[in-house]
Amino acid sequence: MPTFRTTDGTDIFYKDWGTGRPVVLSHGWPLDADAWDNQLRLLAESGFRAVAHDRRGHGRSGQPWQGNDMDTYADDLAGLIEHLNLNDAVVVGHSTGGGEVTRYIGRHGTARVAGAVLLGAVPPLMLRTDTNPEGAPRAVFDAIRDGVRRDRSQYYRELSAPFYGANRPGSTVSQGIRDAFWLQSMRAGVKAAYDCVRQFSETDFTDDLGRFDVPTLVAHGSDDQIVPIAAAAPKTAQLVKDATLKVYEGAPHGLNGEYEERFDADLLEFVRGI
């Protein structure tokens, strides 16, 4: 399996498909690069070099005790981009991966980046505070930690329903998609999965978003039950200079079916237009 080794000795697995302008995709919690397979194939077939990695502690990457924090996630992403010597890249992040991409730009700049896509992403801040009343209360994230700690297998099975909107009338998401969510989630180490909850919920990305200076697409489902839109995409689009905001009416957090097809079309249009 293709891997690179980080400065602290952690092996990071990645997929590298196709040739052309690189598009680097960062996955959500608690998944891995397989969550992007449909987009990786689409991009590679459309003349782009599609790259996606398993975040440390997730999937086929190493499971160190240390480093399960947003700064290190961003540095790992930078390490991958440098290891493959990628330039003029489009960086794409879903959910926690959107935070990873945002912190990457905040810490490492855009010397190697031509554009960014944030899908259902956690920035600017998920946690409810006095200055962020649209956020979710800490009890929501405590419940996630409790689910991971007590019986993560059952918790992930149940989480797949709101993740893909399977608990909404008229949902057409398949059991297979939900099973794939469970499988990927179970490949994440329990320490990494537990630690990551604090990172995606409490990290404030406001300053990082202010450092964006490349074309940016901000996309979000209006019925996202995992990263509710009110505290996320519209605020991000205001903080990023010249961002384009797309809201998919009725779409859940994990896009599938016609919602995924709409995002795929928007992603290709964005990447081709840079």
- 54-71 pLDDT, tens digit each: 999 999 999 999 999 999
Which stretches of the chain score pLDDT less than 50? none
Is 264 among the catalytic positions?
A: no
For the chain, what is the domain count?
Answer: 1
Evaluate the CA torsion angle 77, 183, 154, 171 in order and state its sign: positive
The answer to whether the beta carbons of residues 217 and 90 sit under 8 Å apart is no
**What is the pTM for the complete model shown?**
0.98
- pLDDT at position 242 is 87
Name which of 165, 264, 256, 183 is nearest 219 in CA terms: 264
Taking Cα atoms as reference points, which of 32, 184, 187, 10 lies closest to residue 83? 10
Element (H, E) at 232: none
State yes or no: is 224 an active-site residue.
Answer: yes
Q: Which of 95, 160, 185, 201 is catalytic?
A: 95
Buried b (16+ CB within 10 A) or exposed e, 220-259: bbebbbbbbbebbbebbbebbeebebebbeebbbbbbeeb
pLDDT of residue 1: 82
Selection from 218, 262, 37 nearest residue 115 by Cα: 218
CATH of residue 112's domain is: 3.40.50.1820
38-41: long-range pairs with CB below 8 Å, 24+: 38/260, 38/264, 39/92, 39/264, 39/267, 40/15, 41/17
pLDDT in tens, 122-133: 999 999 999 999
Q: DSSP secondary-structure letter at 33?
A: G
Residue 254 is given by DSSP the state S
Residues of the domain holding 91: 3-273
